[in-house]
Amino acid sequence: MNIDWSSLGFHYTEPEYIVRAGYHDGKWEEPYATKDKYLHLHVSATCLQYGQEAFEGLKAFRGIDGKIRIFRWRENAKRMAKSAEGLFMAPVPEELFGKAIHMALEKNLDLVPPYGTGATLYFRPLLIGTTPRLGVGPGKDFEFIVIPSPIGPYYPGKFHCTTFIVNRYVDRAAPYGTGQFKVGGNYASSFRATEAAHMMGCDCLFLDAKQHKFIDECSAANFIGIKGNEYLTPKSSAILPSITNDSLMTLAREIGLKVTRRKIRLEELADMSEAAACGTACVISPINKVVDTEKGVTYSFGDEPGPVLTKLYHALKDIQYGRAEDKYGWCEII
C-alpha cells in the first residue's frame, strides 16, 4: 500500500483485515480475522433501534528502535467493559480484547507507520447489540469488532494551539446519564455544537448540563489546565475517564505538579497560564483562547503551547516511541 505517512490526518484508511467475534447463547466465540468490512445486521438490531453500542480508541507506535508498542490496551479493555455494563451489554473479556488487538496488528503490520512520520496505527474496538427487537430494552446478542487504521494528528498542524468556543445550548451528556461511558450517543448529541464551532474554525468547550457553570469536556476530549504549580482537570459523573489524562496526571506528579481533580468554574480560566484538551486521538491539544460569546469574555493563553504542557506532551510521546524509560509498564512491546 502506497501511503504518504507524513500527510495522514485523522481519517479512515482501509485495512486489509478487521477482527470480529460474536456473542450468542451467553458465550463469546473466538476472534477471527476477515476481509469483510460489512455488517450482516437485522434492521431491528438493538444497536440501530436503541443505540446499544460502545467503542474504544487506542494506538500502536513504531518506536525509535523499530519495535512496535501498544499503549495501555488493558485500560481500554477495562473501560469498554464498564461501558458495556452501563448499557446492559455482555462485557468483552480482557483476554479476548487483547487477542483481537494483537490479531488486528499482526494481520496489518504493513499499516504501522514508520518512526518519525508522526503517524500511528489506531485501533477502533466496537461493540454492538445485534438482537432483533422493537420493544424498548437491551439485546442479548452482540458483536465485537476491531478496526485498525493508520492515522495522523487529530488536529492538523500537529502540536499547535486551537481556539475553543463556550457552548451553553447543547448538553453533551446528563450528570447521571452515559457521559462516563464511551458510547456513540454522547458524540451524536454534541454534533450540533461541535459542527457549529468547526464552521467558525474553532472547537467546542462543553459546560455541565445541570448549571452551565462548570467546565465539562473539550468536544471529544478531557480538559486540563495549569494554574501555578497545579494540574487541574474536571471531576464529573458526565465525563469520560481518559486514559491519556490519567497518564498525564502521573507524569505531572513526576515533575512536581500538584494534581487536582474537582469541579472547575468557567471563570477560573482567567487564573490559568495554560489550558488544553487531551485524549487518545489528540494527545494534548493546547488552547490559545476560550471565547465566551454569550458573556463577551475571552480567556487567552498565548499563541504557542506553554512550557508545562509542552514538557508533558513530549514526556508521554517519548515513552510511547521508546525514547524514554517506560517505568510504569504502559507499553506492550511486540
pLDDT, one tens digit for every residue, the chain (334 residues): 688 898 888 889 999 999 999 999 999 999 999 999 999 999 999 999 999 999 999 999 999 999 999 999 999 999 999 999 999 999 999 999 999 999 999 999 999 999 999 899 999 999 999 999 999 999 999 999 999 999 987 765 567 789 999 999 999 998 889 999 999 999 999 999 999 999 999 999 999 999 999 999 998 899 999 999 999 999 999 999 999 999 999 999 999 999 999 999 999 999 999 999 999 988 999 999 999 999 999 999 999 999 999 999 999 999 999 999 999 999 999 9
Residue 158's pLDDT is: 62
Residue 233's pLDDT is: 98
Contacts of 152 (CB under 8 A, 6+ apart): 5, 6, 7, 8, 9, 10, 11, 118, 119
Residue 155's pLDDT is: 62
Torsion of CA 173, 179, 183, 187, to 10 degrees: 40
Q: What is the C-alpha separation between 283 and 213, in angstroms, rounded?
A: 26
Q: What is the C-alpha separation between 153 and 311, in angstroms, rounded?
A: 18
Q: What is the C-alpha separation between 306 and 207, in angstroms, rounded?
A: 24
Burial 108-138 (b: 16+ CB within 10 A, else e): beebbbebebbbbbbbbbbbbbbbebeeeee
Mind listing the pLDDT tens digit for each residue in 16-56? 999 999 999 999 999 999 999 999 999 999 999 999 999 99
- Bridge partners (DSSP) of residue 203 are 164
Residue 157's pLDDT is: 58
Q: What is the C-alpha separation between 47 and 63, in angstroms, rounded?
A: 37
Q: Which of 162, 127, 151 is nearest to 21 (CA)?
A: 127
CA distances from 116 to 20, 50, 62, 65, 321 (A): 31, 43, 9, 11, 9
In which residue are the cell numbers 494527545 written?
283
Query: What phi and psi, each to the nearest 5 degrees, are found at residue 156?
Result: -65, 150
Question: Are the beta carbons of 229 and 218 closer than 8 angstroms?
Answer: no
Four-residue CA torsion sign, 106, 110, 116, 120: negative
Cα separation of the two ends of the chain: 22
Residue 175's pLDDT is: 86
Q: Which three cell numbers stand for residue 12?
A: 479512515
Residue 10's pLDDT is: 86
Residue 9's pLDDT is: 86
Q: What is the C-alpha separation between 322 and 326, in angstroms, rounded?
A: 8
DSSP 325: -
CA distances from 310 to 160, 229, 235, 252 (A): 10, 15, 23, 12
- Angle (nearest 5°) at CA 104 between 103 and 109: 100
Predicted TM-score of the model (pTM): 0.95
